[in-house]
Homo-oligomer: A and B are copies of this chain.
Amino acid sequence: MEKTNKNITSRDVDFAKWYNDIISEADLVDYSSVKGSMIIRPYGYAIWENMVAVLDKMFKETGHVNVQMPMFIPESLFNIEKEHVEGFAPEVAWVTHGGSEKLEERMLVRPTSEVLFCDHYKKIIKSYRDLPLLYNQWCTIVRWEKTTRPFLRSREILWQEGHTMHATEQEAREETLRMLKVYEKFQREYLALPVIVGKKTDKEKFAGAEETYTIEAMMYDGVALQNGTSHYFGQGFAKAFDIKFLNKENIWEYPYQTSWGCTTRMIGGLIMAHSDDLGLILPPNIAPIKVALIPIGNSDLVSECIQNLEESLKKENITYYIDRSDKSPGFKFAEAEVKGYPIRIEIGERDLKEKKVTLVRRDTLEKIIVSDNIGQVITEIKKELKEMQNNLYQRAEKRRNSMLYNADTLEEFKNYAPKPGFILTSWCGNPECENHVKEQFGLKSRCIPLDDQISDKLCTICGKPGKYKLYYGKQY
């Protein structure tokens, strides 16, 4: 019989409830008295801290520096770029009073910071020598969502937003794709997510952008999670904000802009791509705690082994947790499964007398008997962590591939539309076809796959000559 955890709904029975159970049982989030906002608890926040550390290093290696902008935007500043305002105005929080006084001009809490960066750029960009400016900011943003879910859609979001300015269009376009690739690498290598990378259609692009690129991950239930976007703005904002620089030919010119961001929503992605009915499963490369040591009984032999293991794990920089509570071994094992520690080591006197300990891998739940020689245990841990990281990726990729469909005709599309997953179509480029799919089937276009954009087939929806390949799917 399959193992179960009585506090966790099966993901095949009720996926939404399963997600909430995982988040609550693994102590990732608490709901707050502040409607629509979440409290990220220590274990959840530790995952975010790891994400931040890795991404921040990648941003710095690609030449970016961090800055901090104000969190408020005066209404008049926000109103400068028209498309941008229209995209965000319905979902912003307004500050109208400071202390007991009404403000002369109301301010919104930033939903994103393009206008703040542009306002600053206008002052500091004068010459081509000042370019490129490669800025990033770690902060929280607010979007006044009606319906919220922890990590996936929240009124307050932790994120990073890169904002860059360049002397040439080519350089800005390269930057847009460079950062998209950084996101892709991070999600594949750390989050073990077999993401689909591509370009958004005009209909789905960011308010004010010329082009939006996206990282689309597929969840266990076949629904898409947009896990990071990178935008090319051209000179739109620069013109609206009158940002100009003297180029090498001594002529005033507008610079070219990009922005790119990813959020705590990636934690939601991790959960929905990898976890199971026993709890969280975290890829070793991003897990805050890689190994749980579980003593069975408290004999001297057990204590000594734990102590030796602890020393070696410290030396090897492998994060660990020791469950010294007075709970039963079975209870501790279940808890380690809920928390998704990649490896647990069961250390009992009976085993130690036979010179062995038991490793259990969280993804496969496979029991691995190892000699109690500390060096051998450490070697085995490293090997299993690496294998688990690969296995999670492959498992997610296999699952994803089983939910990718090709639809060449409207008939085929109709057939696949009710199924979970993504449908690859041929598209004529007309937004009418996108609208039709949304209205008739409730699916949104995901992206034009980056490395395979051109279609030579007829448009799946209208039958006219196709231009691009285009994925459709439901989304979180």
Contacts and interface: CB of A to CB of B under 8 A. Distances in A.
Interface string A133-161: 00100011010100000000000101000
A328 interface: no
A124 interface: yes
Nearest to A135: B42
A85 interface: no
A41 interface: yes
A66 B39 CA distance: 11
A20 to B, nearest CB: 16
Contacts of A66: 42, 45-46, 49
A30 B96 contact: no
A336 to B, nearest CB: 18
Nearest to A35: B74
Nearest to A101: B144
Interface stretch (A87-95, A203-211, A250-258, A379-387): A87-95
A30 B120 contact: yes
Given A99-B91, A144-B99, A123 B34 contact: no
Interface residues of A, number: 52
B49 A156 contact: no
Interface string A30-66: 1011110111111001101100000000000000011
A205 B48 CA distance: 35
Interface in A92-148: 92-100, 107, 109, 116, 119-120, 123-124, 135, 139-140, 142, 144
Interface string A439-458: 00000000000000000000
A69 interface: yes
Contacts of A34: 70, 72-74, 77, 107, 116
Contacts of A30: 120, 123-124
A141 to B, nearest CB: 10
Contact of A94 (B67, B70, B95): B95
A410 interface: no
Contacts of A77: 33-34
A65 B41 CA distance: 9
17 contacts: A33-B74, A33-B77, A33-B119, A34-B70, A34-B72, A34-B73, A39-B70, A39-B116, A40-B67, A42-B135, A45-B65, A68-B158, A71-B71, A71-B109, A71-B142, A91-B99, A95-B96
Given A32-B70, A33-B77, 5 more contacts: A32-B69, A35-B74, A45-B68, A71-B109, A95-B95
Interface of A: 30, 32-35, 37-42, 45-46, 48-49, 65-74, 77, 89-100, 107, 109, 116, 119-120, 123-124, 135, 139-140, 142, 144, 156, 158
